[in-house]
Chain A
Amino acid sequence: MAYLDISKLRFLLIDDFANYRSMLRSILLSCGAQHIEDVSNAEDALELLIEQKFDVILCDYNLGDGKNGQQLLEEVMHRKIIPYGTIYIMVTAENTQGMVMAAVEYRPDGYLNKPFPKDLLVKRLELLVEKKAIMKSIYKAYNKNDYTKALSLANKAMLEHSKQALEIGKLKGEIALAANELDIAEQVYDKALTFRDFQWARVGKAKVLLHRQENEQENKEQAKLLLEAVIEENKNYIEAYDLLASILEFQGKSEEVQKILSTATQISPNTVSRQQHLSKVAIENNDFEAAENSLKQAIRHGKHSCFGKIGDNMELVKIYADNGQPKKVVQTLKTARASYKKDKDAMLHTQFVESMAQQKLGNEDRARELFQEAIKKIPDHLSELPEELQNDLLVISVNLGETELAEALEEDINNTSGTASNENKTKKYHYLLINGKGIRLYEANKIKESIPLFEEAAQHLSNKISVNMNAAQALLFQFKSSKNIELLTKARHYLDISQQLDKNNEKYKKLENIYSTLN
């Protein structure tokens, strides 16, 4: 065993109990540690971890009100805040990891049950430092997507460290799958299965089958059997549920997908992404009760998780609006705004969804009012907004009949190059809204009233053919009844502009025809 110099390691202690922090500190000091920082909550820990490098993180699972130890781990791993070499040890008050933790995707390097004597901590650190040293180079190549190198390093390590061979094998299988080296992956899992009926190796084999392109139907069926057997043995093997759900999704069995995901979320309710997935499936299945339930869970557990998002709150608002529950709509919006008050995009999102909800609830005028207010606040970088906000924005525009505005918005969303960033978008949207108002009047047969609106829009949007054609069309129509020659002159003006913009436009050609018959 390599000698471990604890005085060189930098420790971060995270525990909400000041007593326990000082206790741990004194244990570490007596082991020879010299660099120790401690904090009482995950938020402070996050700040420190971004600023400084630590070798060992000792984190209590239970951290009071904010994020818990697992959520902190998820965030630092998901955001790649700590490098692979950092040792993350979860300290638990009793042996809860079986129930709470095995059901999660991101695992710490080890668990320590309180109380632990100092010798145990030292021993654990020695083992983990040794293990990390062996695996580090493999992970490094793997994270750089250099699969060939990662695989050859894994092979070498397996030969040199027989004690860790299976552990390395597990990783090798994962790398081979990522590299789409399916035969290598299958070999790894088959070899492990000669030792023992490992669940991970059977799940690995299922993954290989799911990756294979040939005999897709048959392979998926076979993978399904493997996964079902694993779940039968170990109800907490969450990954197997997710894979099973993906197979059922492929087979189009959406009711069964919902069933599987709902079992998985019962076992591991705090995984936000799975709750989100479940809610999506439930909405597709028109099971609004289940969708409501999973969205509420996603919101609750997402509050302190990096996977939480405003979109979940918004989906819930839509469900309540669809079911005609205005009070719940208001309440959910209020909660969402309180949770995301510092997030500008999220706040904008709530406004559009509120508008959407008001329309669903039958308050068309209020919906339009909210929509017009929100449109003013759209930032320039439309293409960079969260996808869910972009989608909702387009949906509500179309629902309110603002098709031309919707088209413009879609164009701006898809324009990632930013070439048109000089144009004043707020101004453009404003006049497109006026154009929309004109269309509504026109369609209500209030032609005369629509003309000033179309003209105003056209004057400011001389590069938009549709707006100019609208103005021309309304003027021509009005001329038919009033025979005021001035209308015809104006119509000519907008037709000229349209011609410059696109003389082959079908609608333009039709309008020219009408013009010539009237002239």
Chain B
Amino acid sequence: MTRELLKGNVAIGEAAIRAGVQAYFGYPITPQTELLEYMAWRMADLGRVFLQAESEIAAINMVYGAACTGARVMTSSSSPGFSLMQEGLSYIAASDVPAVVVDMMRGGPGLGNILPSQGDYFQVTRSAGHGDYRPIVLAPASVQEAIDLTMLAFDLADRYRHVVILAADGQIGQMMEPAELPPMQPLTAAPPWALRGAQGRAPNRISSLYMHAESAEAANRRIQSRLSQIRQYEQRSLEYATEDAELLVTGYGTAGRIALSAVQAAREQGLKVGLLRPLTLFPFPEERLSVLADRVQACLVVEMNAGQMLDDVRLAVGGQIPVEFYGRMGGVVPMPDELLTVISRMYRRVAAPA
């Protein structure tokens, strides 16, 4: 395979196509619009379905309908648009149909701005719609990872019949980097539960409605059992220099990638600092973090928000070690030197006291 210089948004679109996405429904919003524009011509060229919906609300419900036919389907948006999709996401999750949704996060709250942010961590991992469920959430930090995790997103969505969210930020969507695309995969066959007309079989019915508490609880148990499997098998993270680290830095996506530069610079200064970069935000890589928490003196969480993954880190660490936080908000992306200063100060204070 050859490496190409690819823009994140375009790379995700092409990766979805190679994963066999049969329908894309979306609505323009910066900083993910190139993804919609790419799908507009590319899906048409391939004779697959592309539709610009009248709103994100319509887009996610088109995804819901299309997913009910058993096809691989997706939509993409950015924070305010993702907020509008929450109702539909909850229905999709409750109905056990697979779907992939990209959230190219931007600065908030409110209209905020179109700059890179990680302010949707709670929204994507906790509250992607009403009711008791969590979507699978994947967090790429580069264009290559955006491709790889898009492919994974479709596989996980089908495997668990669940909503998978690719949560990146405007920087990853807009940036070009060299990357390799996987070969084109054949389209998947429709599963037996799909709605395609009850020809020679009993009707299939897809719904999230349970009138009685007992049946609704049973449906909830089914979802929770799926989620516990997901927690057991799908935690993913990457590490750098954690073997002998005294201070563990953790961050995902763009913040994690910039933190890597800072951690490398800290190592060059002789500071025993390591990095854990979650690839899955749900399931959060709590097992690995818990193991590392036994070894290190302290943990620093770096995010482009006011401290959201911080909660998951604290839960995983369980009070074993001090956990501190550094974040920038509103579309401000921290710089490597800035993080190095934060790391050095914290290291001197908690990991290697004078």
Q: Do A and B come from one complex?
A: no
